[in-house]
């Protein structure tokens, strides 16, 4: 089943982005991914398990954590 996994990854340069890009490009089940160096955010879509994506990105040596859930929820407008 396809799902989206969002990680916070400590990336400071294009070399860091390249390392994350490389490991995700080789990972089985990944359909697409987006790396945002400014937000330190990596979004992975595909037939993947969150823990497997976390372990794969962690292999780059970058500080990796799951993106806080609160940050993904859009604030509801007050009526």
Please determine, for residue 77, whether its predicted confidence score (pLDDT) is greater than 70: no
Tens-place pLDDT, residues 57-75 = 999 999 999 998 764 445 5
Tens-place pLDDT, residues 9-23 = 999 999 999 999 999
pLDDT at res. 70: 61
Please determine, for residue 53, whether its predicted confidence score (pLDDT) is greater than 90: yes
pLDDT at res. 15: 94
CA distances in angstroms from 33 to 19, 25, 79, listed in the order given: 13, 9, 36
Q: What's the whole-model pTM score?
A: 0.83
Order of all β-strands in the sheet with 64-66 = 30-36, 41-46, 3-9, 64-66
Tell me the three state secondary structure of residue 26: helix
For the chain, helix, strand, coil in percent to 5 are 35, 30, 40
């Amino acid at each position: 089943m396809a799902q989206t996994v969002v990680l916070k990854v400590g990336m400071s340069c294009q070399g860091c982005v390249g390392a994350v890009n490389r490991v995700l490009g080789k990972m089985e089940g990944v359909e697409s991914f987006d790396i945002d160096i400014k937000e330190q955010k990596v979004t992975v879509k595909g037939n993947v398990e969150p823990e497997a994506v976390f372990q794969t990105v962690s292999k780059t040596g970058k500080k990796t954590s799951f993106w806080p859930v609160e940050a993904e929820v859009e604030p509801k407008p007050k009526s």
